[in-house]
Structure formats: C-alpha cells, structure tokens
Amino acid sequence: MEKIWQPRSRLHIAKISRPLLALEDFYHFLFSDELNPPIRSQVHQDMTAPLSHYYIYTGHNSYLTGNQLSSDCSDVPIIKALQRGVRVIELDMWPNSTKDDIDILHGRTLTSPVSLIKCLKSIKEYAFCVSPYPVIITLEDHLTSDLQTKVAKMVTETFGDMLYYPDSESLEEFPSPEALKNRVILSTKPPKEYLEAKSFKEKDAEPHNGKEPNEEDAWGKEVPDLQTEIESADKQNENEHSVYKTEVEDFGDDDDDQKMRQNVAPEYKLLITIKAGKPKGRLSESLKVELDKVRRLSLSEQELAKVAASHGADIIRFTQKNLLRIYPKGTRFNSSNYNPYIGWMHGAQMVAFNMQGYGRSLWLMHGFYKANGGCGYVKKPDFLMGNGSHGEVFDPKANLPIKKTLKVKVYLGDGWRMDFSQTHFDAYSPPDFYTRVGIAGVPADCVMKKTKAIEDNWTPVWDEEFTFPLTVPEIALLRVEVHEYDMSEKDDFGGQTCLPVSELRPGIRAVPLFDRKGMQFKSVKLLMRFEFV
C-alpha cells in the first residue's frame, strides 16, 4: 500500500483512518511499470554453466557513433552500450599515424579515431554499472608485435585484478558467468594465425556459385510480414554500391617463445581467454568439436545463412561447447542490422549488432535481453544443449507441436498527451491510434495482428484479445507497436516494445513503450493482460 501511495499526496493518507485504495490510486498502480511490470526483473536463471550455455548481449564495432564509413569513433557509444547491459564490446585496433600508439577506428574508412586507452578506461568505469557478469572485449587486431606488447601492458595496468586470463594456453571448457563476476576477458585470434587467416581469405574457401544468400533467405519465406518490414526499412538507406569490410583480424609476427619477466606485462597471447578464428577450409570442418579445447568461430550473416541451410545440426552441436559469433555483412555501412533469430535458433551465443543502429531488428535485440533481469546473459533452452537418443539435435525447420498458447488482451493506452505535443500526430484533431501485436521467433511462430484504430482519442480503449499458439515459446518475443493512422501519408509511430514470452507475468500489466532508438518514453504505456493456456 505504502508503495502505491508514495508518489501520491501525503495529505490523502492523513485524512483516512485505515488504508483504503481510492480509484485514482488503483489506476496509478495498474499503470505503474515499477509496481506492476510485465516481466520479471531479477536474475533467476542458473549462472554456473559454461559461457557456451548462454546467449550473450553482443555489440559490433562498438566505438562507432553512426555509420560505418564516416562517423566519429568515440568511447561514448561504448558507455551507452554498457549502460544498456551489453556484455561484449568490439574494438578494432590500428597503429596511430606515428606508429607508436594504438587507435580504435574502422580501418580503411573515413572514420576518425579514438585512443585505445580512452576506450579501456571507459570500459573499466562502466563495465558493471548494470550487470555484475563478465564483460568480453573482442579485439580485431591490425597491430605489429611491438604494439601488441603495448596493448598487453595497457590492458593489465588498466584492469588490474579485474582482468581474467587462464593459467593454461587452452581451455577445455569455458568458465561460467558466475565464476567470472566483475571480471573482464579478452577474445581475439592468437597472433600465430595471422598468415593462415590471410591465406584463407585470399582463396575464400567454399564457392558461392555466384550468388550469396540474402536477408530474404535468412528470414525464411514463412514470415513475410516481419521480413518485409525490416528489409524495407533497411533498403531505404542502403546504397547499391557495396563497401567491403575486411573482417579478418590481421596480426603482426609474434615470438611464441618469448619469456615473461618480472614486473613486465604478461605476453599479449597469454591474455586471450577466448581464442577466436575464421573458417579454414570447408565450413563443415570448421564446425568440428574438439574434446580437449574450446574456441570461438566468427561467421558473417551470409555465411551463417548458407551453412545453416546445409549444416544446421553441425552448428548446434558446435555451439553446445564452443562460441559462435555472427557479425553484420560489410554492406551494412549505414549500421543497420539483420534478423537475429537465425543465429539464436542455431545456438549462436554472440549475435553481434550495431547498437548505434536503428529499426525492428534492434528492437528484437533490446527485447531479448530484457530476460533474466537484463543482466546480458540469457540461458539457452535445454533443447539446444542436448542430443536425442540417436544423436539428433533441435531442428528449427521441423513441424513441431504447439507447446504453449499465449493470450494477449490489449485494453487501453495512455501517456501520449504528456510525451508528445498536441499537434505531433494530427494538426487539427486528436490521434487515431491502433496497436500491432505479434510474435517473433522460429518461422512457424512468427505472426503479426492489429487492433482497430480508435478515432480522435488521446486515451484509446481497444479492448481486443489475440491468441498466439507457440511451438518454441522459450525463445519467442512478444512484439508490440502503436501507430497513428494517417489516411494521406505514412502512419505515424507511437511507440514499441518487445518482451520475452518466457518472462511474461500473467495478469493485467502496465507495458511501457519505447521510441525508435529504444529509449523508454516517460509516460506512454499500454494496459495489457497476459494469459497462458
């Protein structure tokens, strides 16, 4: 009771002799996302399994403030990502103009640099402002061996005891998020692989037969609604002239036999906890699981789409023990993103996104990592971690039975009149709001529905219910968008959110909405009811 009254007038409490709840107080309670939230807000999953058992909130080119070609490089987007709960920060390291220090920038573009030390200091300051679980720094390395030594010294001096690195050269199993609480770890390609990577890139492994899978292939034909929405948004900003981004982490020569000396930073190579690599030879060979060591493999979104079509089961088996990182294709120079579900459905832990980007794909990413208290680590479902009696694994394309049915009722919305100007939606009349409600998940579960538009009302009452049968509720997201109907132009945007289905609290709940960039509106909320049958 006290929490409900807290923001209300104290005079109101003084006038009554016993704790009564007035209609205004009850309305305040219902519409408070703090008192009546739609999802659980605490870490509740087991955090003692190896890192490979978790989806990890992962950024791509984390230092960029905007597009991939000409925007500034800064520590500000790194700070913003950490404040959102992102756990994997990517830094591209290059020699500075005088070759005696390290800059962070997107190489071979017009992006202006920021110093490595500034980025490291900001990571240290903000690493655990939202979550105590480990921050992973993925390094794309274009340095000479002397600068790599300088990086090792910078890293060890900046992070001190916060830095974790293994005693042995290779790990048989990754540590757990719980064991790595408040620690920072590095992931990059061991220096000795430089020439091998360069050689592989030149011959480009498996042929594409002149055609690479596009986003349409990745989304699958079963979900044209969501696929079309994201593709059309991206294509408004895409240019027909592609820009190739080299994703190989180049390395200078490294002396593997160099001895560590007292009072000298540990050798760069020994600081790498998660050893990374690109595919060598056939992708099926790269996905083989080794009994005595674990590693990280990186694939572009196109490579993933191709290998998922032919070796989907091998990807899932690989990710049961090893880490798989997916990164955006090089032509996304406007910092757009791709469908994360093709990675998630196959157990990929690090689906790397341009966090400074925009659009519905990023909304899905924001929503997915609201799970498990927003700590940046979400336990993968059991069906992705185990094998059947005949060694079979989960098949996202299989015709699966309905496991759970979600009923969603959209009662009403409020708050736009506080957060928007009176003429924002219509110059001469109140807005005509409607709500779109649907599911993002495996192709069989994806659907989008919408309410009727309520004309001329700042507080629309829809009172409509929708039913969603789900085959894989464990990784499904509830998508909610509000738009204002415009007869002559494109409908205006009125807010959005994505919520993990597995985290929904049954009952009538206040659902806060967010702007296009994922920032929560101060007042805009929906009143909704969730029910599982």
How distant is the alpha carbon of residue 103 from its chain centre?
Answer: 26
Distance, CA of 152 to CA of 102 (rounded, Å): 12
Strand locations in 22-61 (E)? 54-56
Torsion angle defined by CA atoms of residues 352, 354, 359 and 362, in that order, rounded to the nearest 10 degrees:
40
- Cβ neighbours of 93 (radius 10 Å): 22
Q: How far lies 46's CA from each of 43, 157, 472, in Å?
A: 9, 32, 20
Q: What is the CA radius of gyration of the chain?
A: 25
Which residue among 12, 28, 53, 60 is the active-site one? 60
The secondary element (H helix, E strand) that includes residue 284 is helix 283-286
483 is catalytic: no
Q: Which residues contact 57 (CB under 8 A, 6 or more apart)?
A: 85, 86, 87, 88, 365, 369, 376, 377
- Residue among 106, 142, 311, 346 flagged as catalytic: 106
* Residue 321 structure tokens: 């023990």
CA-CA distance, 504 to 188, in Å (whole number)? 37
285 three-class SS: helix
Q: Is 424 a known active-site residue?
A: no
> β-pairing, 507-514 with 520-532?
antiparallel
One DSSP character per residue, 205-255 reads SS--TT----HHHHH-TT-HHHHHHHHHHHHTT--SS---------B----
DSSP-based three-state secondary structure for 315: helix
Q: What are phi and psi of 377, to 5 degrees?
A: -125, 120
Cβ-count burial 285-300 (b if 16+ within 10 Å, e if not): ebbeeeeeebbbbbbb
Catalytic residues: 60, 106
